[in-house]
Homo-oligomer: A and B are copies of this chain.
């Protein structure tokens, strides 16, 4: 066994990863940038930036409606992106992929088009205490409109979900169960396989918030067999403004439209309008075409490296980060989950998270400080904010070392 704090080896296929990301060559306050805010948004590799420029310089046109060549090419490229994403997630069919602005819109779409029409006063929606606001607020708004109730499964002090409690809250009135796959705030990996299986046994539709997992591990939809899964492209090396909702085709088929407009209709008259089949039914108006093109390029980039390689390396790196932070003077980890991915959160005796963020920034180190859009989770730990370091495939053990060195400066200033 290696000793607890030994840094992981960067695998061959990741050694040159940084070079693909132009922003990582930038300096911040005269220091080379150490970007550890990946859970908020990842950086973009050159092939993604190039794909966007190429699209606007060579193929740009509105899609789905044109006979001319640009439009035909743009349509083909956009729809190919859907196919690529369906394969990346191993969906049954590409019609199960609805393009959205991101995880937030995807969840709101499910709330409006799937859940609202079937929700009765007294029905329940189940989530966990680990959720991001995106997987809380849409349900609260819906409960207010319908008289349904939000049930929240608790967590243990280490940040693990209380799985038994979650399962026992799945009752006869539960009309949807929502669960974050990986917590953006404290890095907990939830045992979604177990939860999905239980939901299926009880015939409860289940939505997985995969905003923090699709970029770090293989998500296999046919194996998981959940009803809905959501994520945001910008957290996965893709452009801003694009993301997706996966919905099982049998669910999507039952759902009412979301936004109304062009491209989602079969036939419009002032008397009667009919709608297209999924996924078009849920994609009103001109979509973010360049976003789809960039999404496809990002998948190619990730697959060229290999998701297993990334997952394996990142697991070691985040463990290394947690170990080193835990041992750092004056640092207290918030959440020490059994399975961790991507992020580690902490507070310091000497300084507030905000101050930590500012001081690290002057060292060129970008972390996030605040509630991470998880106010209820912060409340559970009796705090209002943490400092959070989160990694992506281009981070190195040296980045973690720089972070720990930066925290020593915090202690120096405030200690």
Contact = CB atoms under 8 A, between A and B. Distances in A.
Contacts of A37: 61-62, 66, 68, 70-71
Nearest to A375: B268
A262 B373 contact: yes
Which of A66, A267, A285 has most chain B Cβ within 10 Å?
Answer: A285
A360 B273 contact: no
A58 to B, nearest CB: 6
A269 B377 CA distance: 9
Given A52-B52, A53-B52, A44 B60 contact: yes
Contacts of A239: 56, 290
A23 B105 contact: no
A259 B108 contact: yes
Contact of A40 (B33, B40, B71): B71
A135 to B, nearest CB: 8
Interface in A50-107: 52-53, 56-62, 65-71, 101-105, 107
B240 A291 contact: yes
A136 interface: yes
B66 A261 contact: no
A284 B134 contact: yes
A257 interface: yes
A268 B66 contact: no
A151 B141 CA distance: 30
B268 A23 contact: no
Interface string A21-53: 011001011000101010011011000110011
Q: What's the number of copies of this chain in the assembled complex?
A: 2
A214 to B, nearest CB: 15
A254 to B, nearest CB: 16
Interface string A361-376: 1000111111001011
Describe A's contact surface by its main secondary structure. mixed
B104 A261 contact: yes
Given A49-B53, A270-B150, A288-B241, A261 B61 contact: no
B103 A285 contact: yes
A240 B290 contact: yes
A16 interface: no
Contacts of A53: 49, 52-53
Given A102-B286, A267-B375, A257 B141 contact: yes
A134 B240 contact: no
A318 interface: no
25 contacts: A23-B60, A44-B56, A49-B56, A61-B366, A65-B370, A67-B357, A67-B369, A101-B241, A102-B286, A104-B262, A104-B286, A105-B259, A105-B285, A108-B259, A108-B260, A108-B261, A134-B285, A136-B268, A137-B265, A140-B260, A240-B290, A241-B241, A241-B288, A241-B290, A241-B291
